[in-house]
Structure 1
Amino acid sequence: MATVIVLLALCLLIVTLSYLVCCLASPWGTCLRCRPGGKNRTCLACNGTGRRPRIGWQLYVYLRRLHRDGGQ
């Protein structure tokens, strides 16, 4: 049973690290609201560009700014 837990933890670590690498390599993903029809000029999520920052990138930027500003 302990080996199963270790394997699951290892898989979770691998998935997390690969998503982090994906966010660092390509921080912009396709807009989920515009994807079926392509670029939508009236989309408020991406301002009509069809691209928006990934959730991991948004979290990284938030934590970086929080550290820079001293947690205020």
Structure 2
Amino acid sequence: MTPALLAITLLLGVTLCYIAVCAVSPFGNCRKCSGWGFQMRTDRKGRMKRGKDCRRCQATGKRIRIGRWLYNRAARIHRAGTQ
């Protein structure tokens, strides 16, 4: 097997796995709050407590994956073009 063919096969395999992940679980954890929905803060004694709600995910703790966002956008354009 040539290195170019091996690289293409590997890239195709990674792409198909990512498509499967986007189909099964379209939402992932928010990167800013790590899926908590809020930032953790410390009080004056050093104990952890709940901070403000996360503005990026609107306190849901979830975000839409890039692949699913692209699929939704393409489906919306296709649907609008065929009506």
> Same-fold call, TM > 0.5?
yes
Per the alignment, residue 61 of structure 2 pairs with 50
2:37, 2:58 within 8 Å by CA — same for their partners in 1?
no
AA of the residue aligned to 2:19: L
Further displaced range: 42-51 or 11-20: 42-51
Distance 2:7 2:26 in 1: 27
Give ranges in structure 2 of 5+ residues lacking alignment. 39-51
Q: Name the larger-Rg structure.
A: 2
Pairing 1:38–2:36 present = yes
Give ranges in structure 1 of 5+ residues lacking alignment. none
Q: Which has the higher helix share?
A: 1
Deviation at 1:24, TM superposition (A): 0.2
* TM-score, normalised with respect to structure 2: 0.75
* TM-score, normalised with respect to structure 1: 0.85
Deviation at 1:39, TM superposition (A): 1.9
Pairing 1:67–2:78 present = yes
Please, what is the CA RMSD of the aligned residues?
1.9
Give percent identity, aligned residues only: 42
